[in-house]
Every structure is written in C-alpha cells, then in structure tokens.
C-alpha cells in the first residue's frame, strides 16, 4: 500500500505509525467479519424460508382434508407442522444462538482490535486500494 496516497476522508486515513502489515491484517479481519455477516444473512433466509414453509402447510392440510384425505392431513399436522428443525430448536432459536454465541462476539472483537491498532478506523485497506487505483483528474475517480 502507499500510505501517502490515502483518501482525504479522515475516517479512512491511516493513523500515524500503522504499518502496511497491520492494515493488511485489519483488512483480512474485516473481510472475515463480512463473510460472517453473509452467513448471518443466509441464516435469516433459512429462518424465514422455513417459517414460510411451515405456514404454507396450513393450506396443504386444509386442502388434504377438503379432498377427503384426513389421515394424510393428520400425519402432516402431527409429524411436520411446527416441528423443531433440530432437537429442541426452531429456526429463530438457531439465529439467536448464532448471534449470541458467535456473531456478537466476533463483531465486538473486530471493533476492539480496530480501536487498539488503528484508532477505530474502518476499511483502511480498501480506502488505500481505492486511492492507489484512482485516476487523477478523472471525474469518476474522485475521493469525495
């Protein structure tokens, strides 16, 4: 990285004494957190899709009964409707446990390390990459 080519935005300016390796390490830590954010989003997708499937079973059960298939409707109600997705857990509980056990801890540690090593500045690696790739004088390559 080229620390002299930093962006004008003070939130993304490398603090004095922060090395290239530290900026790279913070960038890797940030990338890992962003990946956990994506996993968390997928977990919310899982939660909402499973919930939607469970709610759609109401219609299936009603239609099975209307078609004269009460035994099959009873089986769906008894065996699938409202079922735990893993023993003792609905999807909302999995989301809550992920947030409490992993995500919240990860986010806190990442924030603490950024504070300790770079005065809390975020995305230094990306901001310096942007500055290094900027074409001087080009209207679509401005820092603002």
pTM above 0.85, yes or no: no
Length of the chain: 144
Q: Please state the domain extents for the chain.
A: 10-129
Q: Sorting pLDDT into bands at 50, 70 and 90, what band is 109?
A: very high
Average pLDDT of the residues of the chain:
91
Tokens of 16: 């004095």
* pLDDT score recorded for residue 8: 61
Q: Outline where DSSP puts E strands in 29-121.
A: none
* pLDDT score recorded for residue 144: 66
CB 135 within 8 A of CB 141: yes
Backbone angles phi, psi at 13, to 5 degrees: -90, 135
Q: Please state, in angstroms and rounded to a whole number, the distance separating the CA atoms of residues 15 and 68.
A: 73
Quick check: 4 pLDDT over 60?
A: no
């Amino acid at each position: 990285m080229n620390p002299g080519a930093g962006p004008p935005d003070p939130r993304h300016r490398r603090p004095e004494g922060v090395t290239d390796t530290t900026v790279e390490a913070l960038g890797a830590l940030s990338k890992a957190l962003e990946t956990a954010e994506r996993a968390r989003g997928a977990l919310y997708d899982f939660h909402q899709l499973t919930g939607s499937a469970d709610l759609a079973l109401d219609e299936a059960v009603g239609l099975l009964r209307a078609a004269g298939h009460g035994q099959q409707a009873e089986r769906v109600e008894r065996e699938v409707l409202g079922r735990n997705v893993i023993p003792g857990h609905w999807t909302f509980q999995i989301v809550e446990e992920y947030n409490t056990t992993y995500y919240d801890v990860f986010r806190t540690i990442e924030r603490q390390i950024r504070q300790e090593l770079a005065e809390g500045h975020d995305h230094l690696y990306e901001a310096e990459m942007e500055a290094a790739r900027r074409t001087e004088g080009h209207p679509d390559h401005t820092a603002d």
